[in-house]
C-alpha cells in the first residue's frame, strides 16, 4: 500500500484504506473517499492533489492525501 500522493495522474485507482483520526476519516469519507472507491488523480502540484471521486473534482492538500492508501 502507498499513500495517494504517489499515484500516477489519470490512472484509475482503488482506495484500500483511509487512515487518520476519527474526524479526519469521517471528513474524507463524507467526500467519497471510502475503501473500495475508484478514483483518479487529475492534477498534482507539490503533493497537493485534485482528485476525481464520484464524478466530482476534489482538492486535497498533501496531509489529507497521505491519509488515503492505495
Could you report the per-residue pLDDT of 17-57, keeping only the tens digit for each?
999 999 999 999 999 999 999 999 999 988 799 999 999 99
Look up the CATH superfamily of 4-69.
Answer: Ferrous iron transport protein A (FeoA) (2.30.30.90)
Q: What is the pLDDT of residue 36?
A: 97
Find out whether 15 and 41 touch, Cβ atoms under 8 Å: no
Residue 11 has pLDDT above 80, yes or no: yes
Give the alpha-carbon dihedral of 63, 64, 68, 70, to 10 degrees: -60
Find out whether 53 and 64 touch, Cβ atoms under 8 Å: no
Cell of 66: 497521505
Does 47 or 11 have the greater pLDDT score? 11
Q: What is the pLDDT of residue 50?
A: 97
Q: Model-level pTM?
A: 0.92
Cell of 52: 476525481
CB atoms within 10 A of CB 62: 15
Q: What is the pLDDT of residue 46?
A: 85
Amino acid at each position: 500500500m502507498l499513500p495517494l500522493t504517489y499515484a500516477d495522474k489519470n490512472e484509475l485507482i482503488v482506495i484500500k484504506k483511509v487512515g487518520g483520526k476519527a474526524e479526519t476519516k469521517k471528513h474524507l469519507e463524507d467526500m467519497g473517499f471510502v475503501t473500495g472507491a475508484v478514483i483518479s488523480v487529475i492534477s498534482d502540484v507539490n503533493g497537493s492533489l485534485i482528485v476525481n471521486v464520484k464524478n466530482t473534482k476534489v482538492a486535497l492538500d498533501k496531509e489529507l492525501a497521505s491519509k488515503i492508501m492505495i
